[in-house]
Amino acid sequence: MTLTPNKTQNCRPPPVADDPRWLRIVARDKTADGQLWYSVATTGVYCRPSCPSRTANPKNRAAARGLCKAPGRRASDLAGAATRTQRSLESENAALIAKACRIIEDSEEEPSLKILADAIDRSPSHFHRLFKAATGLSPKEYAAANRAKKIRQGLVAGNSVTEGDL
């Protein structure tokens, strides 16, 4: 189905059964953001597909790229706030994980999960989930990989493994 922008403010949706985009909206598909928006006829609000707001009644919505993003319609407050909040939370978490990585890299001994979590002011379980989501490794796996890297660098530099120079 191809939709062309309508010159009028009338945003009549095709029946839900005929519109495959509705499934993307119901699934809150982030990959559809920027490709289409949907609006709610009863509120005059338009949202991106991944908007965390309550899903509109199918009878009251229209979905099309730019079709209803027009005068008389306004962006969902939740859509903008959620995007800003998500971005700032992601950047804050990335900075905290980077700090934890530096602590691991600068430590002579492997720091415990509690020490790392305390350093970034998170609970150990929450820190572990954040770390694994950001790096793909647990803090313990990251520390082991960092130690292996240091050993490899020491061997390349000519240090002895048996004499404890590493």
- Identify which of 2, 71, 61 has the alpha carbon closest to the alpha carbon of residue 37: 61
The confidence score (pLDDT) of residue 42 equals 67
Domain ranges of the chain: 16-75, 84-156
Give pLDDT tens digits for 119-160: 999 999 999 999 999 889 999 999 999 999 988 888 888 877
pTM (whole model) above 0.75: no
Q: How far is CA 109 from CA 15, 37, 148, 149, 156, in A?
A: 63, 52, 13, 14, 22
The confidence score (pLDDT) of residue 85 equals 56
Q: How far is CA 64 from CA 8, 17, 61, 69, 161, in A?
A: 14, 15, 10, 9, 65
pLDDT bucket at 163, cuts 50 / 70 / 90: low
May I ask the CATH class of domain 16-75? alpha beta
**Is the pLDDT at 81 greater than 70, yes or no?**
no
List b or e across 10-44, with b for residues whose CB sees 16 or more CB atoms inside 10 angstroms. Answer: ebebeeeeebebbebbeeebeebbeebbbbbbeee
Strand partners, 47: 38
φ and ψ at residue 36, rounded to 5 degrees: -155, 160
**Is the pLDDT at 13 greater than 70, yes or no?**
no
Mean pLDDT, the chain, whole residue set:
74
Q: Kindly indicate whether the domain formed by 84-156 is annotated with CATH number 1.10.10.60.
A: yes
CB–CB of 111/103 below 8 Å?
yes
Give pLDDT tens digits for 41-71: 666 666 777 877 776 666 665 544 444 444 4
Residue whose structure tokens are 């965390």: 52
The confidence score (pLDDT) of residue 7 equals 46
CB–CB of 116/103 below 8 Å?
yes
Is there a shared CATH topology between the 16-75 domain and the 84-156 domain? no
Q: What is the CA radius of gyration of the chain?
A: 25
CB–CB of 127/100 below 8 Å?
yes
